[in-house]
Amino acid sequence: MAERAAPVGVMDSGVGGLSVLREIRHLLPQESLLYVADCGHVPYGEKSADYIRERCRHIAGFFREQGAKAMVLACNTATVAAVADLRGLYPDWPLVGMEPAVKPAAAATRSGVVGVLATTGTLQSAKFAALLDRFAGDVRVVTQPCPGLVECIESGDLHSPHLRRLLAGFVEPLLAAGCDTLILGCTHYPFLRPLLATWVPSEIAIIDTGAAVARQLQRLLRERELLASGPAREPAFWTSAEPQALGAVLPLLWGGSGSVQHLRP
């Protein structure tokens, strides 16, 4: 029986899930948080679903050893590949996944055209096709895979001329197609909001699901009477690559330093 004071495990292929971790900390400051960045295997976006499922099984097993009362797959690509598998393995463990914000975008658009920026893995998945069938309705959804963005963000590059050119190459065609709403369908991309704001017109809505995922975690914990009453322990970070590399970008992407340990293979 999990305890209220037990931690919540949050994972991503790398640093992207920190954008979700920030929302969880904001909504649920009393929760103790564990974060695994699978930086030794990033990016997930171009890898097979089987490969990603194995990584997620490994990390879920690690969180369970740490006594985590719940897990957040803070990665759209990992969710399409592995959430059903993990739910089958651990049917009673609260597990929150992510999906691109098609439903709110379809409700918000006035032009009737919505753009989705995400990884190839997410956009090619049956789960994404089902999401469109269910929520897109009459709205035209233009999809854009973005290879290369994740690597820049992993290295702490949020502003370079190279990144700006790469991003413009992905976003300009969506604007030209008439999109008035852009979905950030990868948890790395919210870190690009400041760069996007320097040239994307302010009337274009840019949405992601980090805050919604934090609310879903809150709902699941409340239903099971597992909400912590605090105080939270300091968040603990693990990476499957060099701890120094994650430690170096934490102040920029997390807003503080933290102890980073190496995740056993």
- Does residue 32 interact with ligand DGL by CB under 6 A? no
Alpha carbon distance 61, 215 (integer Å): 24
Number of H helices and E strands in the chain, helices first, is: 11, 10
Count of residues in contact with ligand DGL, rule CB under 6 A: 17
Residue 55 engages ligand DGL in binding (rule: CB under 6 A) = no
Residues 6 or more apart whose Cβ sits within 8 Å of residue 233: 7, 32
| Residue whose CB is less far from ligand DGL, 48 or 111 | 48
* Catalytic residue check, 75: yes
* Nearest distance in Å: CB 149, ligand DGL: 9
Q: How far apart are CA 149 and CA 127, in angstroms?
A: 23
Instruction: Tell me if 11 sits within 8 A of 38, measured CB to CB.
Output: yes
Q: Which is nearer to ligand DGL, 58 or 224 (CB)?
A: 58
Q: Which span sits near ligand DGL by CB under 6 A: 11-19, 85-93, 207-215, 228-236?
A: 11-19
Query: Using the rule CB under 6 A, which residue among 8, 31, 77, 96 binds ligand DGL?
Result: 77
> Looking at 186, 213, 214, 217, which residue binds ligand DGL (CB under 6 A)?
186
Task: Examine residue 44 and tell whether it contacts ligand DGL (CB under 6 A).
Answer: yes
43 binds ligand DGL (CB under 6 A): yes
Cβ-proximal residues to 4 (8 Å cutoff; 6+ apart), any chain: 69, 225, 226, 227, 228, 229
- The piece of 63-71, 132-140, 186-194, 243-251 that touches ligand DGL (CB under 6 A) is 186-194
Question: Does 187 help bind ligand DGL (rule: CB under 6 A)?
Answer: yes
Burial class (CB in 10 A: 0-12, 13-18, 19+), 223: exposed
Contact between 119 and 99 under an 8 Å Cβ cutoff? The reply is no
Would you call 260 helix, strand, or coil by DSSP?
Answer: strand
Name the residue nearer to ligand DGL (CB basis): 8 or 226.
8
Q: Does 18 bind ligand DGL (CB under 6 A)?
A: no
Asked whether position 237 contacts ligand DGL by CB under 6 A, the answer is no
8 A C-beta contact, residue 10 and residue 20: yes
- Applying CB under 6 A, the residues found at the interface with ligand DGL are 12-14, 16, 42-45, 75-77, 119, 122, 150, 186-188
Q: Which residues are catalytic?
A: 75, 186
